[in-house]
């Protein structure tokens, strides 16, 4: 037997599980209600770190993610997470035509978030593999400590980026120490997009530098290579994952996930490529206890007799539980809202226990709570709506604002002026549309303002006659050069439209079907039929031939 492989008793997942449950039950977060944002009357004025609001629970690495695919979001600052997990697979015909292979693996991971956006982790694992076609039939691999570093940064509420670095020092061949020369270094870039609070999409891309071939100076049996995870080649990594999270009752959350992860080797058939599905359960809400179960299914990379890669099982079931051991006060404020209470003694000085929560009370009259209301930062848009031809106010006009549900805003019936209700401040644009009976609607895009700003815009609507637009260009059919001073003539309207030095033209035209004549100096006249509808733009790009 090789020294790296041992026939010791297995480290049981069930031996560690009671400790994890005990730690998780001691967490004060378990008594809080998730999903309620901190209010101004909370029992703390500290803020949690900014982060993408991802539905992800703990990944296989103990940080936030799907399973192998990481999410660009971090655990709360100051939090410590203990993760224990196990994998199991049972395959026949894995190495030989009639073998039976049973594999058990466990891992223990500790994660710490010392500062905003940064997480450190330490992991150790044990693998036990039994195959009846080889001697010894049972092999074990113990240790392989891994140190990890992850950085996550939110670009906006829905989008985040990050990077993950993992460094593994494998156990030596004799099992008495570590083999530094056989290290494995893995780096991944992370992008996360959360289009809805319950849905997250995550993309990883990276590289795995694998020196595990340096552990042994002798040939290995395929089953030994499989158990110890020894490969001859490096891998290009790519992964795509999707996870969901739904509130069940007052605090419990649950959801499913799916991912596709590939490690591309020089020989594609040996590349470990997996499809993964599973579910997660957070019985006490976020950042308390995470329970994850799922299964891997090999798309490629199952071990073969002469393969140079470790290989992966045809299928593998996994489960893990993560306990947050040291939730910071900022977590309670930012995620859970005011502190819970059953008696006044549980609240701080100058607080009152009201409806089961501690609130800051500014003034109490006849034992009634008075809480200061903080207005939402907002701006407004004002202006007027007028007839484009006459300049008269259109006192029957109405306006709508994008992103603001409800009825349209009517202008002043005397002056046709308006001022919107308060609109939320921030980044982006607001589309304002003005309309009036027998007039062509018009729209303008307005940049959102800062708190207290007043934006001014004026609308001039074309009324009485339905108007469209005709635009385009004239160019020489042979040379492609623009035709200067060309003419587009609409006989029915007696309307002439000239081209500029670039051969381009644009003009408003009465809606309807029209015959137009297109001409230019030294060019033959062309005749075309067009139909213009109210508010439409008809584009004509004409190639002109020299006249004969």
Report which of residues 202 and 47 the model is more confident about: 202
pLDDT of amino acid 53: 58
- Is the model's pLDDT at 371 over the cut of 70? no
SS3 135: coil
Q: Which of 215-219, 490-494, 533-537 has the highest mean pLDDT?
A: 490-494
pTM of the predicted model as reported, rounded to 2 decimal places: 0.54
pLDDT of amino acid 4: 55
Q: Which two tokens stand for residue 474?
A: 């004239």
**CATH 2.60.40.1120: does it fit domain 467-544?**
yes
- Is the model's pLDDT at 86 over the cut of 90? yes
Report which of residues 533 and 21 the model is more confident about: 533
CATH 2.60.40.1120 region(s) of the chain?
378-461, 467-544
Beta carbons within 8 Å of 83's beta carbon, 6+ residues apart:
58, 62, 107, 108, 109, 110, 111, 320, 321, 322, 323
Superfamily covering domain 378-461? Carboxypeptidase-like, regulatory domain (2.60.40.1120)
DSSP line for 452-512: T-EEEEEEEE-BSS-EEEEEEEEEETTT--B-TT-EEEEGGGTEEEE--TTSEEEEEEESE
Fold of 13-335: Porin (2.40.160)
User: Average pLDDT for residues 521-544, to the nearest whole number?
Assistant: 88
User: Average pLDDT for residues 300-323, to the nearest whole number?
Assistant: 90
pLDDT of amino acid 220: 78
pLDDT of amino acid 370: 58
CATH 2.40.160.40 region(s) of the chain?
13-335
Give the model confidence (pLDDT) of 7-29 as tens digits. 433 434 444 444 444 444 444 33
Give the model confidence (pLDDT) of 450-474 as tens digits. 998 999 999 999 887 777 899 999 9
Q: Running DSSP on this structure, what letter comes out for residue 546?
A: B
Give the model confidence (pLDDT) of 468-522 as tens digits. 899 999 999 899 999 998 999 999 889 999 999 999 999 988 888 999 999 988 8
User: Among residues 227, 82, 231, 226, which one has the least CA distance to residue 143?
Assistant: 227
User: Average pLDDT for residues 249-270, to the nearest whole number?
Assistant: 92
% of the chain beyond a pLDDT of 70: 83
- Least confident residue range of 16-20, 164-168, 296-300, 507-511: 16-20
- Least confident residue range of 29-33, 211-215, 253-257: 29-33
- Is the model's pLDDT at 364 over the cut of 70? no
State the pLDDT confidence band at 343, using cuts at 50, 70 and 90.
confident
Beta carbons within 8 Å of 323's beta carbon, 6+ residues apart:
20, 21, 23, 24, 27, 81, 82, 83, 288, 289
């Amino acid at each position: 037997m090789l020294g790296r492989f041992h026939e010791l008793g297995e480290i049981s997942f069930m031996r560690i599980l009671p400790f994890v449950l005990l730690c998780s039950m001691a967490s004060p977060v378990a008594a809080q209600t998730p999903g309620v944002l901190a209010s101004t009357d909370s029992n703390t004025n500290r803020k949690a770190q900014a982060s993408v609001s991802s539905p992800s629970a703990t990944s296989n690495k103990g940080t936030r993610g799907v399973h192998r695919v990481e999410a660009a979001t971090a655990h709360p600052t100051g939090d410590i997470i203990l993760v224990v997990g196990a994998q199991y697979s049972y395959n026949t015909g894995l190495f030989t035509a009639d073998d039976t292979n049973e594999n058990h693996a466990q891992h223990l991971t500790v994660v710490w978030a010392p500062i905003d956006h940064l997480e450190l982790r330490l992991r150790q694992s044990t693998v036990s593999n039994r195959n009846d076609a080889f001697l010894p039939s049972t092999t074990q691999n113990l240790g392989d400590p891994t140190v990890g570093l992850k950085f996550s940064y939110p670009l906006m509420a829905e989008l985040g980026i990050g990077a993950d670095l993992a460094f593994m020092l494998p156990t030596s061949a004799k099992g008495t120490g570590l083999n530094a020369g056989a290290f494995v270094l893995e780096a991944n870039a992370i992008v996360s997009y959360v289009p809805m609070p319950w849905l997250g999409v995550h993309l990883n891309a990276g590289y795995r530098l694998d020196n595990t071939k340096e552990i042994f100076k002798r040939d290995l049996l395929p089953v030994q290579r499989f158990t110890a995870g020894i490969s001859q080649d490096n891998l290009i990594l790519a992964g795509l994952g999707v996870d969901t999270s739904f509130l069940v009752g007052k605090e419990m959350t649950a959801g499913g996930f799916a991912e596709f992860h590939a490690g591309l080797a020089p020989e594609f058939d040996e590349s470990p490529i997996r499809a993964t599905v599973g579910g997660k359960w957070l019985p006490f809400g976020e950042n308390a206890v995470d329970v994850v179960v799922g299964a891997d299914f090999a798309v490629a990379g199952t071990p073969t007799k002469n393969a140079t890669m470790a290989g992966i099982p045809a299928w593998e079931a996994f489960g893990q539980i993560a306990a947050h051991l040291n939730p910071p006060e900022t977590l309670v404020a930012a995620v859970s809202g005011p502190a819970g209470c059953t008696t006044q003694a549980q609240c701080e000085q100058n607080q009152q226990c009201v409806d089961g929560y501690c609130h800051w009370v500014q003034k109490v009259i006849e034992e009634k709570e008075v809480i200061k209301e903080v207005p939402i930062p907002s701006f407004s848009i004002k202006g007027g709506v007028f007839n484009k031809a006459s300049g008269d106010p259109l006192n029957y006009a109405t306006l709508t604002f994008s992103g603001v549900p409800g009825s349209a805003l009517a202008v002043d019936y005397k002056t046709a002026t308006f001022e919107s209700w308060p609109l939320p401040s921030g980044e982006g644009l607001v589309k304002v549309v003005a309309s009036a009976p027998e007039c062509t609607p018009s729209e303008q895009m307005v940049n959102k303002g800062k708190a207290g700003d007043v934006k001014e815009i004026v609308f001039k609507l074309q009324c009485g006659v339905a108007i469209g637009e005709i635009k385009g260009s004239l160019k020489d059919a042979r040379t492609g050069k623009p035709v200067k001073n060309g003419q587009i003539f609409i006989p029915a309207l007696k309307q002439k439209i000239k081209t500029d030095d670039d051969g381009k033209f644009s003009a408003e035209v009465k809606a309807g079907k029209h015959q137009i004549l297109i001409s230019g100096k030294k060019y033959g006249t062309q005749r075309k039929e067009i139909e213009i509808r109210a508010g439409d733009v008809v584009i004509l790009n004409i190639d002109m031939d020299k006249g004969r």
